[in-house]
Chains A and B, each alone.
Chain A
């Protein structure tokens, strides 16, 4: 089955670091871009950035550049989103998604990882 499996719910304190994951299976992981999308509670979708696991080429939205780091380990078909110092405003659901090679939009999504940052 072609799928993206995301890591589980996280509850962290402000200032802590965090790395969440997204594991692809059922397809050639290195041949498709993987992106991250934020959805704050009750709000819309925000495109954060994207990585090509084949060579780790990474692009960020200006809104998220310097705020998060996107990486990938192609040997285990996993992409990551990480923070060095979380803020309460990072509380959100984070989705990873695969970008289709045919049309360059997200055609396969993970179920999301809920991150709660609270003191």
Chain B
């Protein structure tokens, strides 16, 4: 099973700052990696698919990059509604999620 390790566990930032989240795979997943956002009491929402493609309706401040084993989700300027938990997920070999990164208000 492919293990995804996200870092940091928690990111404390202020609105307007840039957020950089990392996801590392235990073996290559090519570009088959997605990012999801989850707010308390809600279902997850797809943000990025295949490493760098924004899903329908996702603002341009969200961007993804990487391939192989190292991936990054960037939020260029945090809006109040962006404070949430973010998960990466791979689909290269079955499907697995990372453990999540919480982006909290500093």
Contacts and interface: CB of A to CB of B under 8 A. Distances in A.
Q: Are A and B bound to each other?
A: yes
Interface of A: 35, 37, 44-47, 50, 59, 61-62, 95, 97, 100, 103-107, 109-112
Contacts of B46: 105-107
A45 B43 contact: no
Contacts of A61: 1, 94-96
Nearest to B96: A47
B95 to A, nearest CB: 4
Contacts of A109: 43-45
Contacts of A100: 49
Interface of B: 1, 34, 36, 38, 43-46, 49-50, 53, 55-56, 85, 87, 89, 91, 94-100
Contacts of A105: 34, 46, 49, 89, 91
Contact of A45 (B1, B44, B49, B50): B44
Contact of A44 (B50, B87, B94, B95): B87
A59 B44 contact: no
A44 B98 contact: yes
Nearest to B1: A62
Given A95-B44, A106-B44, A111-B43, 5 more contacts: A37-B44, A47-B89, A61-B94, A105-B46, A107-B56
B23 to A, nearest CB: 13
6 contacts: A44-B98, A45-B44, A47-B97, A97-B44, A106-B44, A109-B45
A103 B89 contact: no
A37 B45 CA distance: 13
A51 B85 CA distance: 27
